[in-house]
A = this chain, B = another copy of it.
Amino acid sequence: MTATENRINRIKPDRNAPIGVFDSGVGGLTVVREIMRQIPNEKIIYFGDTARVPYGSKSRETVVRFSEQIVRFLRTFEVKTIVVACNTASAYAMDILEKETDIPIIGVVRPGAREAAAVTQNGRIGVIATEATIGSQIYTDYIRELNENVTIYGKACPLFVPLVEEGLLEDPVTDEIARRYLAELIDIDIDTLILGCTHYPLIRSTVGKIMGDRVRLVNPAYETARELQNLLAEADLLSRNPPRLGENPHQFYVSDKAEKFLRFANSIIKYGILSAKAVNIETY
């Protein structure tokens, strides 16, 4: 490395540095999957907080504290950017994390909100998410910043995460619970529905079947990967080097149960995750 390059690297992140991605557990892997599809040259450091999952029923203060610990952990890898791949953490902690962090950081809420505001025709948008995300009103706030003439209906669906984690992705019980949760959104005639929790893309077909063809489903994981690509391109931080043959470009860390995580991860991401390491996140 020349002296000039070295000086540039000190004032700007290295474009070949990895991207840090975190979630309360396994749900954020749906975001990882989209990043791998859309910008396959990028290396990822993933952290899933499996010792303290779920976040969706916890308070703002607790979720902020957990998120700050994880950002400190990810920064030990000198990541060039951080993706908050958890709707609850995006809802509660983005403001604070952005203030505290001097590298680009993006959450999943804003990209999902932007897409929903752009595609709605009748101005009636539904959001399904955890209790915390719905309670925070964050999707409502972001969407109304972009488009004042829409109405947003939020519905917390606390059983969706345990049903997904139990593997009941296509099952009469999941159908029944989904029908109950979604009934009021059908009644009020929304035309756009945000899957506002990173687990929900895994039951997209169940939700789609119940909502019908007229309702457009927005997957913030997909939108986030697209926005990440734009952000890196604008900052001239896109990696130009595809991973070398035989190199494992991604690393996965969890706060508990690395083996169980690995099984779930390999069912979501077809590329084959070789290992996941456990760390004690409370010490960060």
Contacts and interface: CB of A to CB of B under 8 A. Distances in A.
Contacts of A256: 58-59, 61-62
Give the contact-size bracket for chain A.
20 to 34
Each complex incorporates copies of this chain amounting to 2
Contacts of A12: none
A57 B158 contact: no
B62 A58 contact: no
Contacts of A165: 158
A1 to B, nearest CB: 41
A206 interface: no
A257 interface: yes
A57 B159 contact: no
A246 to B, nearest CB: 32
A58 B261 CA distance: 11
B177 A58 contact: no
A183 interface: no
Contacts of A192: none
A165 B257 CA distance: 24
Contacts of A162: 158-159, 161-162
A52 interface: yes
29 contacts: A50-B58, A51-B52, A51-B58, A51-B62, A52-B52, A57-B257, A57-B260, A58-B256, A58-B257, A59-B256, A59-B257, A61-B256, A62-B255, A62-B256, A62-B257, A158-B162, A158-B165, A158-B166, A159-B162, A159-B163, A159-B166, A161-B162, A162-B162, A172-B176, A173-B173, A173-B176, A173-B177, A176-B176, A282-B282
